[in-house]
Structure 1
Amino acid sequence: MTRPSLPFAALLAALAPSLGAAQGTTTAATPARPEVHIVATGGTIASTNYYGGESGKIGVEALLKAVPALDTVARVSAQQFSNVGSGAFTPAMWLALSRGIADTLRARPALAGVVVTHGTDTMEETAYFLDLTVADARPVVVTGAMRPADGVGIDGPANLMHAARVARDPAARGRGAMILMNDEILAARDATKANTVRPDAFVAPVRGALGVADPERVVWHRLPVRAPTFDLANVRELPRVDVVYSYVGADGAAVDALVAAGARGLVVAGVGRGGLASAQRDAISRAIAQGVVVVMGSRTGAGSVPVGQGVRRRGGAADAPEEPSTVGAGDLNVQKARVLLMLALTRTNDPRQVARIFAEHQ
């Protein structure tokens, strides 16, 4: 005879005291618990019936109720920023989210850190934008779920719990924005989604994880590479930057169309180490001649494309005049290079200056 299973929230509530002891955290009665603020934006962690048609949405209050052991980790406050799939995020939402987090950190000096719940499809882009724009030393930890809230073997509650543990850790200060998924802590700059459905979908293919959230403690392996953040004070909207994919037989139609649509920058997912299909080269040259800044990346998923100087000598002679050229993405993947180029273009349209910005973010 089988026994009916307890609802997940009730099971966690029953286990909360032992969970807190296992993680070495303070008890709920201890006033010294750090303060952690949670900003909910939506995604699979806040969805039901994800694999079965029309999905439902769960608010931040329900997310917190599913993880009652959070109270043993920190004094938690929360807000509902949005409740959308991450594919619905926009650059305007990035600006509002970054400014809201910065305002919260400024207004609450006792806050240990911030957790952002987010859909996984564009999580890496949002996390990197926050890394580039939130100047406060306190951590911003982005997390989510690969399985819906009413699924089997759901990962959202554990990810939220461990994200709060990372956010409250004093050693997390100065590490910028991070992604916490499947117990691993990844630098926002380095993380990418590498699988469509697995709980271990996120990896840092070039530089590896920053650390892990073990049951007993948070373990740090290395420091991330950090660069100066961008000031958004005078930024009203982000410039249009598009991604162009290179492949056998690709021509210049997509490049020409994107430039005509108003792109101020293009990031090319090139073949190999930033190569182009031969028919695309003329279109890229036309784009550069019209003042579009072009960054060359790779479609391979790992490895580097040299940043370069953003200019070249006309005709190749050492004493020839300079003319604009492409900028290499370094080891940033194309979606991260797009985020950085959007922010770089809020400062300058000079390819040489853009190349310097890319170089300092390697």
Structure 2
Amino acid sequence: MKRLLLLATGGTIAGCADDSATLNDYTAGVLGADALLAAVPQLQGLATISVEQVANVDSADLLFAHWRALVDRIRDAFTADLELAGVVITHGTNTLEETAWLLQLLIDDPRPVVLVGAMRPATALSADGPLNLLQAVQVALSSDARGHGVLVVMDGQIHGAQRVTKLATQGVRAFASPGSGPLGWVDDVGVHLPTASGPRQVPFAGLDLPEQWPQVPIVYGCVDPEPLVLSACLNAGVAGLVFTGTGAGQLSAAERSALEAWRGKRPLMLRANRCGTGPVHSDSDDERLGLLPAGSLNPQKARVLLLLAVLAGWERSQLDALITASP
């Protein structure tokens, strides 16, 4: 029987409410990983699953320390056990896409790493967590999942880490991949995925994560934005900055003027957009202002990329080359 590692971090999939009809007023991260496995006895016939509790929190409370622990543990597990089929991570949905993208940029191994969560707490009628977990394990054990990088399994759909995002606050079909759609699906027949096209790029495969991480805030674009926000970030000496621009990543005249007037060292800066879908392309003023377009990355994923680029000591040209080469 194949071997699998399950890393639990909490979230709604491990959440509990006072009664089974309550879907919103619950506490995330209550049940441990063993309880999650016990709720899905069918898993016993699929694989020998080792369980570790990395955290048990609402994913809104996830910390850089948790990310570091996940990365270190996955790397160690893959190095120590060449027969390990893959890794499944139970995770809260609020920041699941950020963790998936982080791991995509750091974990250099063809074996699947699959993140899974739930939109309803474990105590709810028709809780979606048990089926999601079963299907995530199916995907992690599938040879068809090899080479696809980090995957997210929710509501029977299999998404890639770069495009997947949470688009709704409620409902089991809250996750989607705008602009591309899911990579495949999983059901009682099996895992339906195309064969991976070839080796994937893992730009930060050799990066060791530190205890102290840089400051990389996100500035949100809106009508008549408060200039003090951007000025405070620059004066604080942030290492990176992500703009959630309006439209196709546009900054306001006030924000552009603040960048033009800044006489200190400019941080690495990316322009994403607040629309939810669609790319951000380069602009003629980007180089003069020290900006780079974030391409298809949403603001939260642009921040993850920027965090790693700063930790790796990248220059603006290196970051530009990576974004330009990304699909």
Seen in structure 2, the aligned counterparts of structure 1 residues 92 and 283 have a Cα distance that, compared at 3 Å, is: farther
Residue 229 (1) aligns with residue 184 (2): no
Q: Specify which of 25, 29, 42 is matched with residue 10 of structure 2.
A: 42
Seen in structure 2, the aligned counterparts of structure 1 residues 56 and 341 have a Cα distance that, compared at 3 Å, is: closer
Give me the TM-score of the superposition, normalised by structure 2: 0.91
Matched residue, 2:319? 354
Q: Where in structure 2 are there 5+ consecutive unaligned residues?
A: 18-22
Residue 222 of structure 1, CA deviation: 6.8
The answer to whether the 8 A contact 1:288-1:324 is kept is no
Q: Specify which of 335, 340, 358 is matched with residue 305 of structure 2.
A: 340
The answer to whether the 8 A contact 1:190-1:207 is kept is yes
Give me the TM-score of the superposition, normalised by structure 1: 0.83
Superposed structure 1 runs of 4+ greater than 6 Å apart: 308-311
Aligned-residue sequence identity (percent) comes to 38
Pairs aligned (count): 320
SS of the aligned residue for 1:162 comes to: helix
Amino acid at match of 1:40: A
Distance of 2:140 and 2:56 partners within structure 1: 22
Q: Where in structure 1 are there 5+ consecutive unaligned residues?
A: 1-32, 313-322
Residue 195 of structure 1, CA deviation: 0.4
Q: Specify which of 135, 139, 150 is matched with residue 166 of structure 1.
A: 139
Cα shift readout 1:233-273 (whole Å, capped 9, x = no counterpart) = 36453322111111111132111122333421111111111
The answer to whether the 8 A contact 1:269-1:298 is kept is yes
Residue 287 of structure 1, CA deviation: 5.5
Distance of 1:286 and 1:167 partners within structure 2: 51
Matched residue, 1:20? none
Distance of 2:149 and 2:285 partners within structure 1: 28
Deviates more, 1:87-96 or 1:222-231: 222-231
Residue 63 (1) aligns with residue 45 (2): no
The answer to whether the 8 A contact 2:245-2:271 is kept is yes
Distance of 1:83 and 1:234 partners within structure 2: 21
Matched residue, 2:175? 202
The answer to whether the 8 A contact 2:26-2:121 is kept is no
Question: Superposition RMSD on alpha carbons, in Å?
Answer: 2.1
Q: Specify which of 211, 216, 235 is matched with residue 241 of structure 1.
A: 216
The structure whose Rg is larger is 1
SS of the aligned residue for 1:48 comes to: coil
The answer to whether the 8 A contact 2:144-2:191 is kept is no
Amino acid at match of 2:306: L
